[in-house]
């Protein structure tokens, strides 16, 4: 909750993570300044997958999800992935929407479904609109140069001079190559470079050439090997081209070559295809995890703390969840709560990094099943590199293309009707089944279960035995309650307020929650002894007792306390525990009541 003095937060980085952190801080009545070294037109990234928790957080800061949905890749295209020679010749296809259990999970998770795929530029534009509607200070072309932790000052280079910014809290939201994290000198638990890509944003209509609509196309063409992220087949795509670092650079891909490659993957009839290369940049895909996410009053969020592969769509969602977890704790000003940030988020980040590496390696299982040796992936670039200085240009380009010709042979072989080809197709289908596990986002995007000083860990063992109620440490998504006497009613929390749900009338718990200034939802339990709490926490059912729309039964006189981030922090029954236990626990974590409640 909020304290009397107004704290100043300086946020380094104006990507989605930094902008969400700023908007949350503004809701907490904190003074906010964002420092961004680039111009407002600078392109920040290609993340596009938003899970149910991410959508919840965006709605909390004021983003209209209904408006965002207008720009989302529609179903079933967003749940389809294709491997092929080009857009017209498919090697293998995965459509999650064909799976009834996936459709059920999608429809019964959160307020807006399991996930949404939205072009990052659109998401960032929506967040910037919200920033501009506030008095949040956003300093473009201001770059962090030095840091004085003792004086709590940041030295900033502007286009014309050096300035010093004072701060009470400093947030590193400046991406995978974070200047602030580097200045702190934090050790790494993981730092692995996996691959370098050339990312090309194209305004183009490839819909006439795509035999099937998909979000991702993994294409193995003699002319180019790439992944096509098709946000809008008729308007905008992203080409992700793996580079052989030793032999290639961005200079080897002028706009005309990119357009030629685009024609190659579009296939027959694309000779007159026109495209605008909107943006090109080198992206070094790495998996990196810091040993801590905070140092004194400096906190590290998003890619600055944990960069990961895009496989599985974990990066963006983990980043904005960092901000959601942290800002209310800063607003509280209490050390126990502040210390819980690393306790809770580092384990989540570690698991996300591990999953993203496994997901990336799993994507490579399909070409492996086809017999494409990934060890030779750099061979065409190597031939091109070593022959371009002494062979005529047409000849050395043709030679490197010949080196990739087996890719076309593999496609035709896989389509044949004989036993070996059938075995190849079976291996590909088995590999696709593995792809489906992480492409769906069902398992890996479940809300984490925290264990920290900000959770009533004394009741954890008791809680683990109570299968009928929400788990301690777990974030609830869209939640409402119902009973025989009460129609379904939503339960909302306004960031950064705590929320108590009490299953009783005139409960002794009410005295304590009122004293602590906690907003309370009182559910009538006099005429109906059991209340059903519908909480979307498990996106898919493993058993009949673990359904996506699981109904938790609240016993009479039970209290469930939700933190500002909708995590179950405290859960007790008056018949089993002393009512004063809530007040004692809140004091333990350094909770400060709102000024209005005192």
* Mean pLDDT to the nearest integer, 262-274: 94
Q: Which of 6-10, 268-272, 380-384 has the highest mean pLDDT?
A: 268-272
- Distance CA(104)–CA(465), nearest Å, equals 28
Angle at 211 between CA 399 and CA 410, to 5 degrees: 40
In a domain, 88, yes or no: no
Give phi and psi for 214, each to the nearest 5.
-150, 165
* Mean pLDDT to the nearest integer, 424-436: 85
- Distance CA(398)–CA(383), nearest Å, equals 10
3-state secondary structure 185-239: CCCEEEEEEEEEEEEEEEECCCCCCCCCCCCEEEEECCCCEEEEEEEECCCEEEE
pLDDT of amino acid 10:
98
pLDDT of amino acid 596:
43
* Mean pLDDT to the nearest integer, 120-124: 94
Angle at 74 between CA 73 and CA 76, to 5 degrees: 120
Residue 353 has pLDDT above 90, yes or no: yes
More confident residue, 584 or 484: 584
Domain CATH number, residue 431: 3.30.9
Q: How far apart are the first and last CA of the chain?
A: 12
Binned at pLDDT 50, 70 and 90, residue 49 comes out as very high
Q: Say if residue 165 is in the same domain as residue 217.
A: no
pLDDT of amino acid 541:
36
pLDDT of amino acid 7:
81
Taking the model in full, what pTM does it have? 0.91
Binned at pLDDT 50, 70 and 90, residue 526 comes out as very low
* Mean pLDDT to the nearest integer, 421-429: 83
* Mean pLDDT to the nearest integer, 19-41: 95
Domain of 225, in residue numbers = 193-283+366-439
Q: Say if residue 36 is in the same domain as residue 61.
A: yes
In a domain, 446, yes or no: no
pLDDT of amino acid 380:
78
* Mean pLDDT to the nearest integer, 17-24: 98
Q: Say if residue 225 is in the same domain as residue 357.
A: no
Q: Say if residue 58 is in the same domain as residue 132.
A: yes
pLDDT of amino acid 594:
54
Q: Which of 492, 479, 475, 495 is nearest to 62 (CA)?
A: 495
In a domain, 96, yes or no: no
Cβ proximity of 354 and 312 under 8 Å: no
Q: Say if residue 175 is in the same domain as residue 201.
A: no
pLDDT of amino acid 556:
65
Q: Say if residue 550 is in the same domain as residue 570.
A: yes
Residue 377 has pLDDT above 80, yes or no: no
More confident residue, 549 or 145: 145
pLDDT of amino acid 389:
75
pLDDT of amino acid 396:
64
Binned at pLDDT 50, 70 and 90, residue 410 comes out as confident
Q: Say if residue 397 is in the same domain as residue 255.
A: yes
Q: Tell me the three state secondary structure of residue 72.
A: coil
Query: How does pLDDT run across 197-223, given as a tens digit for each residue?
Result: 999 999 999 999 999 999 999 998 888
Query: How does pLDDT run across 151-163, given as a tens digit for each residue?
Result: 999 999 998 999 9
* Mean pLDDT to the nearest integer, 322-349: 94
Q: Say if residue 431 is in the same domain as residue 532.
A: no
Q: Which of 439, 469, 486 represents a domain boundary (last residue)? A: 439
* Mean pLDDT to the nearest integer, 359-374: 83
Residue 419 has pLDDT above 90, yes or no: no
350-379 in b/e form (b: 16+ CB < 10 A) is eebbebbbbbbebbebbbebbebeeeebbe
Sequence-distant (6+) residues with CB within 8 A of 162 are 145, 155, 156
pLDDT of amino acid 123:
96
- Distance CA(444)–CA(114), nearest Å, equals 12
Average pLDDT, the chain: 84
Q: Say if residue 520 is in the same domain as residue 486.
A: yes
Q: Which of 48-57, 548-557, 559-568 has the highest mean pLDDT?
A: 48-57
Percent of the chain scoring above 90 in pLDDT: 51
Sequence-distant (6+) residues with CB within 8 A of 264 are 86, 221, 222, 223, 224
* Mean pLDDT to the nearest integer, 227-237: 95
* Mean pLDDT to the nearest integer, 117-136: 96
Q: Which of 439, 465, 493 represents a domain boundary (last residue)? A: 439
Q: Say if residue 142 is in the same domain as residue 270.
A: no
In a domain, 103, yes or no: no
DSSP string, 155-184: EEE-SS-EEEEE-SEEEE-S-TT-HHHHHH
* Mean pLDDT to the nearest integer, 401-427: 76
Q: Say if residue 486 is in the same domain as residue 562.
A: yes
pLDDT of amino acid 527:
41
* Mean pLDDT to the nearest integer, 16-40: 96
Total domains in the chain come to 3
């Amino acid at each position: 909750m909020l304290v009397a003095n107004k704290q100043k937060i300086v946020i380094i980085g104006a990507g989605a993570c930094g902008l969400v952190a700023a908007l949350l801080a503004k809701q907490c009545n904190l003074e906010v300044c964002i420092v961004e070294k680039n111009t407002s037109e600078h392109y920040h990234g290609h993340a596009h997958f938003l899970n149910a928790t991410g959508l919840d957080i965006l709605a909390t800061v004021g983003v209209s999800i209904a408006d965002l949905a207008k720009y989302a890749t529609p179903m079933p295209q967003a749940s389809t992935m294709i491997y092929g020679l080009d857009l017209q010749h498919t090697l293998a296809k995965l459509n999650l929407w064909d799976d009834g259990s996936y459709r059920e999970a999608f429809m019964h998770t959160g307020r807006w479904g399991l996930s949404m795929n939205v072009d990052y530029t659109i998401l960032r534009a929506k967040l910037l609109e919200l920033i501009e509607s506030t008095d949040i200070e956003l300093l473009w072309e201001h770059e962090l140069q030095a840091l004085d932790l003792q004086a709590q000052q940041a030295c900033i280079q502007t286009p014309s001079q050096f300035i010093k910014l004072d701060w009470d809290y400093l947030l590193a939201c400046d991406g995978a190559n974070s200047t602030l994290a580097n200045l702190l000198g934090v050790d790494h638990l993981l730092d692995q470079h996996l691959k370098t890509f050339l990312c090309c944003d194209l305004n183009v209509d490839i819909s006439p050439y795509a035999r099937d609509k998909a979000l991702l196309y993994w294409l193995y063409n003699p002319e180019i090997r790439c992944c096509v992220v098709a946000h809008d087949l008729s308007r905008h795509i992203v080409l992700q081209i793996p580079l052989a670092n030793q032999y290639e650079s961005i200079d080897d891909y002028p706009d005309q070559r990119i357009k030629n490659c685009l024609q190659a993957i579009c296939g027959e009839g694309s000779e007159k295809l026109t495209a605008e290369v909107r943006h090109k940049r080198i992206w070094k895909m790495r998996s990196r995890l810091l040993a801590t996410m905070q140092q004194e009053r400096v906190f590290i969020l998003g890619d600055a703390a944990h960069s990961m592969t895009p496989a599985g769509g974990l990066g963006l969602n983990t980043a904005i969840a960092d901000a959601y977890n942290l800002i209310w704790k800063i607003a509280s000003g209490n050390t126990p709560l502040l210390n819980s940030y690393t306790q809770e988020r580092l384990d989540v980040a570690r698991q996300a990094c591990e999953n993203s590496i496994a997901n990336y390696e799993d994507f490579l299982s399909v070409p492996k099943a086809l017999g494409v040796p990934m060890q030779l992936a750099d061979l065409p670039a190597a031939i091109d590199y070593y022959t371009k200085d002494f062979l005529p240009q047409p000849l050395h380009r043709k030679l490197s293309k010949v080196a990739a010709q087996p890719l076309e042979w593999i496609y035709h072989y896989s389509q044949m009707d004989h036993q070996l080809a059938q075995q190849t197709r079976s291996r590909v289908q088995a590999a696709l089944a593995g792809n489906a596990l992480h492409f769906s986002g069902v398992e890996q995007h479940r809300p984490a279960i925290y264990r920290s000083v900000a959770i009533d860990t004394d009741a954890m063992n008791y809680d683990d035995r109570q299968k009928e109620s929400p788990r301690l440490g777990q974030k609830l998504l869209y939640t409402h309650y119902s009973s025989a006497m009460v129609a379904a009613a939503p339960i909302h929390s306004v960031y950064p307020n705590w929320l108590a749900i009490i299953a009783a009338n005139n409960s002794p718990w009410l005295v304590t929650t009122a004293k602590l200034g906690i907003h309370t939802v009182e559910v009538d339990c006099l005429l109906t002894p059991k209340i059903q709490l519908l909480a979307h926490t498990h996106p898919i059912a493993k058993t009949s007792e673990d359904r996506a729309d699981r109904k938790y039964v609240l016993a009479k006189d039970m209290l469930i306390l939700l933190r500002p981030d909708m995590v179950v922090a405290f859960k007790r029954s008056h018949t089993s525990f002393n009512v004063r236990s809530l007040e004692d626990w809140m004091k333990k974590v350094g909770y400060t009541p709102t000024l209005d409640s005192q």
